[in-house]
Structure 1
Amino acid sequence: MFGYYFDLALRSFRRNRVLTALMVLAIALGIGASMTTLTVFHVLSGDPIPHKSGQLFAVQLDPQSMDGYTPGEEPDDQVTRYDAEQLLREAKGDRQVLMTGGGVAVQPDKQGLAPFALDARYASADFFPMFDMKFLAGNGWSKAQDDAHDRVTVITRKLAEKLFGSVQVVGKTLRMDDNDFRIVGVMEDYRPKPKFYDLNSDRYGEAEQIYLPFTTSRDLKMGRNGSMNCWDDGKDEDDPEGETGVSAPCTWMQYWVQLDTPEKADAYKRYLSNYSDQQRQSGRFQRPTNVRLRSVMEWLDFKRVVPGDVRLQVWLAFGFLAVCLLNTVGLLLAKFLRRSSEIGVRRALGASRRAIFAQCLVEAGTVGLAGGVLGLGLAMLGLWAVRQQPVGYADLAHLDPAMFLMTFALAILASVLAGLVPAWHACQVTPAVQLKSQ
């Protein structure tokens, strides 16, 4: 029967082309607007490392002075170098990593390639296995190399091909900031969406192409970037490295820990509380114990990674879709009631109200299918417009297979919902009244 109703729907479209075109356009406009904004929201709010996001945790401590203290406020997003290195030494997690952003000047040997600057990441050895980096050649450095302050580096495929024309470059030398580093690994280009492990820079932009041991970066006093929060003015001057020194009262490093079970996560949070208590007893911490341990998705929610204007646009787009559906309801109602005589004849010939209701819903769904096709084109046009905007996530605005299917599902569902009331009115037509009026 579905095929028969579908054929009737197509015949009805040909008889009422203008009315059908208005309904299809109304559905298409609503679908195009809503799928454009929903796709952007889907890209920005996704899980950047879904297979283990529940096992990776951002660590927060509260080492600041009592100046400006408000009970119950959140601790700083980052940790001091002293705390990061101490937690790393104690190694209470399954894996743990300290890190910060940096910038280096690459001095290539390749003929005709001038020196250029790149963002880098200074990290400890567990960075690569914790975040599941995929290596094309070699591997990351080891903890022993961390401890030995070795001058080693890991680079991405993109940089390896730019500098050497190949990814088989393990063992070769790369010169940066007038120092030679031995390449120990080449990894696949890495771009989590967002860059959850460090949200201080462009959250949806390209990830770093160069990775160095943190210990080595400090030995060579390499440039760093990212936010820094200092207190107790003047105390950092006591450290020979200034505000990046071990004893400086400044938070500027990210610290992540991998905990493979909920029980380990609970135990680690207790460990952080005990650590905070010990630091307060020693005089380093002044504020009451205030620690946080957030998983990846909890961290992204806490940091409000999805821009507020994107959330607002989603609500506005679905509001617009609702308006379009109300218009479609009115148009379908007008169309079905104009066919009251036809429906009356079908009822007189034995068609049940259920059959009339089903026929009308199939016709409404067919309108939605046509609206979905046109709406898909409008959504693609809308996403193209998003990609022209000067925002970090612009180039990520593409329709993936899931959102492609959702476009048609939403269009058909919306049109069927819009057709419920008109279909109900249509199936209430009384055959005798309609036949008497002919």
Structure 2
Amino acid sequence: MFNYYAAIALRSLRLTKGLTALMILVIGLGIGASMTMITVFHAMSGDPLPGRSATLYVPVIDARPLATSKDGASLPGGNLTWPDAQALLRAARADGQAAMTGGSVPVRSTRAGESPFYETGHYVTADFFRMFDVPFRAGVGWSAQDDEQRARVVVLNHGLNRKLFGDASGIGRTVRMKNTDFRVIGVVDDWHPQPTFYAQLDNRAFGRSDEFFLPLQTAMELGLDFNGRFSCWGDGGDGRTSDHCSWLQFWVQLDSPAKARAYRDFLADYWREQQAHGRFPRPVNPGLYDLMGWLANQHVIPEDLRLQLSLSLGFLAVCMLNVVGLLLARFLRRAGEISVRRALGARRRDIFLQLGVEASVIGVAGGVLGLVLACAGLWSVRQRPDGYAQLAHLDLSMLLGTFVLAVIASVLAGLLPAWRACHITPALQLKTQ
């Protein structure tokens, strides 16, 4: 029966090529615009660490005084002071804990004649690699003992390893970074989670690339260049080691909800302990966000992108309303044909199914056109300078979603016209023939 309805639909579409082409074009434009933005939004709102994100948390404690300047209104933003981060590391109340911040250093190539170049990376503590399940191509990360001893060791991303040593492994070799030699102990296998959730979540959260990882204590001792948000209140004390300056990101691994509750209680106790020493004057209110909750809290997805998504979905709705009108006109013009079929014994359900199949055929054709337009739209997004632009690729789920959306939209658009056509009174139409 479906084949019969499909054959009737194709024959009917060939008889009104202009109207058919117009409906396909309208559906294609709506699907193309909406799928472009849905794909970008899908890529940006995905889980950067599937399978592990539910056990990773950001503790938030607020060391600011009650009265802060306007510039400090957005603090604490999840950042900790150096003394607080060190205290949480020493307490070791989680299954894993790591402090970190970003940095940029000049790297000297081992190849003769090549000038030094700057690379961005992160200064982290030992649990970083285990907590975030960083994939190693060769070697391993460093130990907590290396942290304490300020070891001159480095883990390279595969891209920087290839840039320095070609296809050879850099394990055991020396890299000179800002006038200090570091021994390569690990090579990461092109690890680029998007967004870079463990870094400062600003307008560079997407597209950021960390090409090296150094021990945080070593970076502090050598005075390497740091980047990211550095916020102080009061006199700022001794800079980065001051308890008046917030700049370190801190993550913990808690393998069960019970451990998460216990860690939140620990944070509250730590807050009260600091109050007893004259710090943390604000009411006790520690925060503990899981990875996806933290991304939502930090508004990682730009507001202009949300607006563009809303506008594209609105444009799709307008397109489908136009298709409703075109289908209604198309079906009502065939009132005589429908009445003859009803007079010959066709039920309303049969007519409804026939017209539904016809609407679906138009939707599939519109979906093909929409797919082409979506690919063109995503290509144009990739030409933008925004960090998230390179994520604009149509994966298999979005490819299937394009066709599903096209068919569902066209079928829904065809419901009213098909229902109206099914309720045409055959006798009135046959009298006019």
Using the size of structure 2 for normalisation, the TM-score is: 0.96
Correspondence 1:38 to 2:15? no
Closer, same or farther: CA 355–249 of 1 in aligned 2, 3 Å: same
SS of aligned partner of 2:252: strand
Work out whether residues 150 and 213 of structure 1, in 8 Å CA contact, stay in contact via their aligned partners in 2: yes
Greater shift, 401-410 or 163-172, is seen at 163-172
| Among candidates 335, 339, 348, match of residue 344 of structure 1 | 339
CA apart distance, 1:338: 1.1
> 1:3-18 counterparts in 2 under 5 A?
3-18=3-18
| C-alpha distance in structure 2 between counterparts of 1:427 and 1:317, whole Å | 33
- Identity of matched residues, %: 52
CA apart distance, 1:88: 0.4
CA apart distance, 1:200: 4.3
Stretches of structure 2 lacking an aligned partner (at least 5 in a row): none
SS of aligned partner of 2:111: coil
> Counterpart in 1 of 2:240?
244
> Counterpart in 2 of 1:205?
207
| Among candidates 289, 293, 300, match of residue 295 of structure 2 | 300
Q: CA RMSD in A?
A: 1.6
| Among candidates 410, 420, 423, match of residue 418 of structure 2 | 423
| Among candidates 394, 398, 401, match of residue 396 of structure 2 | 401
> Counterpart in 2 of 1:118?
119
> Counterpart in 1 of 2:278?
283
Greater shift, 367-376 or 339-348, is seen at 339-348
> Counterpart in 1 of 2:230?
228
Work out whether residues 201 and 298 of structure 2, in 8 Å CA contact, stay in contact via their aligned partners in 1: no
Greater shift, 262-271 or 113-122, is seen at 113-122
| C-alpha distance in structure 2 between counterparts of 1:13 and 1:256, whole Å | 60
Closer, same or farther: CA 219–23 of 1 in aligned 2, 3 Å: same
Closer, same or farther: CA 44–200 of 1 in aligned 2, 3 Å: closer
| C-alpha distance in structure 1 between counterparts of 2:168 and 2:214, whole Å | 18
| C-alpha distance in structure 2 between counterparts of 1:134 and 1:73, whole Å | 34
Work out whether residues 196 and 205 of structure 2, in 8 Å CA contact, stay in contact via their aligned partners in 1: yes
Work out whether residues 94 and 253 of structure 2, in 8 Å CA contact, stay in contact via their aligned partners in 1: yes
Count of aligned pairs between the two proteins: 430
| C-alpha distance in structure 1 between counterparts of 2:66 and 2:315, whole Å | 50
> Counterpart in 2 of 1:2?
2
CA apart distance, 1:166: 2.3
CA apart distance, 1:342: 1.1
Closer, same or farther: CA 76–327 of 1 in aligned 2, 3 Å: closer
Amino acid at match of 1:16: T
1:356-415: per-residue Cα shift (whole Å, max 9, x none)?
000000000110000000011111111111111121111111111111110110000000
Amino acid at match of 2:23: M
| C-alpha distance in structure 2 between counterparts of 1:311 and 1:211, whole Å | 33
Work out whether residues 137 and 167 of structure 1, in 8 Å CA contact, stay in contact via their aligned partners in 2: no
SS of aligned partner of 2:53: coil
Amino acid at match of 1:430: T
1:150-177: per-residue Cα shift (whole Å, max 9, x none)?
1000001111111101252211111111
Greater shift, 106-115 or 408-417, is seen at 106-115
| C-alpha distance in structure 2 between counterparts of 1:311 and 1:47, whole Å | 18
Correspondence 1:335 to 2:330? yes
| C-alpha distance in structure 1 between counterparts of 2:349 and 2:45, whole Å | 42
SS of aligned partner of 1:54: helix
CA apart distance, 1:290: 2.6
> Counterpart in 2 of 1:358?
353
> Counterpart in 1 of 2:90?
89
Amino acid at match of 2:215: P
Amino acid at match of 1:44: M
| C-alpha distance in structure 2 between counterparts of 1:383 and 1:328, whole Å | 25
| C-alpha distance in structure 2 between counterparts of 1:312 and 1:294, whole Å | 26
Greater shift, 94-103 or 388-397, is seen at 388-397
Work out whether residues 157 and 167 of structure 1, in 8 Å CA contact, stay in contact via their aligned partners in 2: no
> 1:157-172 counterparts in 2 under 5 A?
157-166=158-167, 168-172=169-173
Using the size of structure 1 for normalisation, the TM-score is: 0.95
| C-alpha distance in structure 2 between counterparts of 1:410 and 1:125, whole Å | 46
| C-alpha distance in structure 2 between counterparts of 1:74 and 1:161, whole Å | 39
